[in-house]
Amino acid sequence: MNSKPETIPNVVREKIKELEEKNDIKLSTLQKVFSSIEGPVVTILDVLYGDVNLFILDQHMEKADEDIAEKLQINVGDEVDLREVILHKHGRPLVYGLSYIPKDRCSNTVIEKLLKEDQTTGRIMLEHEIETITKVNDIYLEKPSAKILNLFHANEDMLVREFILIHKKNVVIWSKEVYPISYFKE
Amino acid sequence: MTQEKNEANKALIDKINDVEKNYGETFSNTQKILLTTDGSITAILDVLYGKITLKTLDQHFEDANAEQAKLVNVRQGEQINFREVIMHKDGNPLIYAISHIPLSRCNNDICADLIRADIPIGRILKNYDIESRREIRNICIEKPNDRLKEIFGTDEDMLARDYVIINCDEILMWIKEIFPISHFTEI
């Protein structure tokens, strides 16, 4: 264990404040909660909406390019599992998620489960009792890409959160969650 | 494209649904989140209210009795740190919490932070980069004891949950959090 560090500031609170001031908006309670929770948003969605469903839009292994390698702190060319999903309730899209998982940092069992395409990463983490640290890297607004526009049918700004999960001092998941800014206002 | 019903959090949904059903009332979204989150409550309150403050009501080391030993999976008589705190905003009590932490599972730095300062446990874990997971044990409604009545200034029912934080496959701490049922209904 390291020697005593200084108490860290609340990064999420500061980022939300910045985002609100910069864009002259106020995030709702739920939007703030979704930004601040440790771990995937699906846990909260499950509790609030009854269990939500998962569509896997894409899932495959690929070689990490520079951007992904930097996100995961791995070498360019290392194998990475890409998962692109949409969480929905009765067909209504709630949150789009993109994640990168470095193959070499997962056990074979976890990789097998990921590739089965039938379980959320959250559930896999839960089942395998994986101990982690969550670090929220960024919270921001972005314009929807064509894909996101097609998924949500909403031509408006998207609220985005990027976070990583750390296990055994290594990044094991980089994840991005996206939803329209008009969602979760109630 | 594959579709699958996500049942990862089924047990948690069942727990909160059971409490709502037995009590005959629906809880607010924020209440549900605070009762079921597998992350730090301090982090959520911090974002919702601005920086919240911790007031330590009691903090001492004691020998674990049978009940405490069971909660943190140690032998009876082993030393534990007992903490009783209030999370508040500008003097308004938000959440009352007690925790038991086996001394044998803390290093000196964590012990020092527990003893010397009003630092929330979630922040201590973050400050020392402790990898962990949380298991929620119970979610329930309780009648307040005299201490809770005095702290919150009400005799209404309390929402409570208890959970363990696990590090290196061992229980690092057991925590119980309690707040009046009228709290967090508007935010």
Higher model confidence: residue B167 or residue A10?
A: B167
Residue B2 lies in a domain: no
Q: What is the pLDDT of residues A122-140, one digit of tens each?
A: 778 888 889 999 999 999 9
State the average pLDDT for chain B. 89
Task: Tell me how many degrees the CA angle B84-B123-B79 measures, rounded to the nearest 5.
Answer: 45
Q: How many domains does chain B have?
A: 1
CA-CA distance, B51 to B89, in Å (whole number)? 8
**Tens digits of per-residue pLDDT, A42-93?**
888 888 888 788 899 999 999 999 999 999 999 999 999 999 999 999 989 9
Give CA–CA dist B65/A18, Å, rounded. 48
Task: State the CB neighbour count (10 A cutoff) for residue A84.
Answer: 16
Of B5, B128, B132, the CB nearest to A51: B5
At residue B129, φ and ψ (nearest 5 deg) are 50, 50
Q: What is the CATH number of domain A11-180?
A: 3.40.1410.10
Strands (E) in chain B, as ranges, are 2-5, 53-63, 79-89, 92-102, 133-142, 158-167, 170-180
Q: What is the pLDDT of residues B81-123, one digit of tens each?
A: 999 999 999 999 999 999 999 999 988 888 888 777 688 888 8
Residue B58 token pair: 């009691």
Which residue on chain A is closest to B120 by alpha carbon? A7
The torsion angles phi and psi of A177, rounded to 5 degrees, stand at -115, 135
* Chain A neighbors of B9, CB-CB under 8 A: 42-43, 46-47, 51, 122
Domain that holds residue B140: 10-180
Q: ipTM value, please give it.
A: 0.86
Residue A7 has a pLDDT of 46
Q: Which residues numbered 11-40 in B keep a CB inside 8 Å of some CB on A?
A: 12-13, 16, 29-30, 32-33, 36-40
Tell me if B1 is assigned to some domain: no
Could you write out the DSSP letters of every residue in A44-94? HHHHHHSSPEEEEEEEEEEE--HHHHHHHT--TT-EEEEEEEEEEETTEEE
DSSP-derived 3-state class of residue B183:
coil
Domain map of chain A by residue range?
11-180
DSSP secondary structure, B116-159, as one string: HS---HHHHHHHTT--BEEEEEEEEEE---HHHHHHHT--S-EE
B105 alpha-carbon distance from chain centroid: 19
d(CA B9, CA A74): 31
Chosen for mutation from B44, B46, B89 (greatest number of chain A CBs closer than 10 Å) is B44
Residue B5 pLDDT: 38
Answer yes or no: is pLDDT of A21 > 50: yes
Is the per-residue pLDDT at B46 higher than 90? no
- Which residue's entry shows tokens 């964590």? B110
- CATH code where residue B96 lies: 3.40.1410.10
Interface of B with A in 79-118 (CB under 8 A): 107, 109-110, 112-113
Q: Find out whether A57 and A71 touch, Cβ atoms under 8 Å.
A: no
Q: How far apart are the CA of A154 and the nearest CA of chain B, in angstroms?
A: 22
Quote the minimal CA–CA distance from B4 to chain A in Å: 6
Residue in B1, B51, B187 nearest the CB of A56? B1
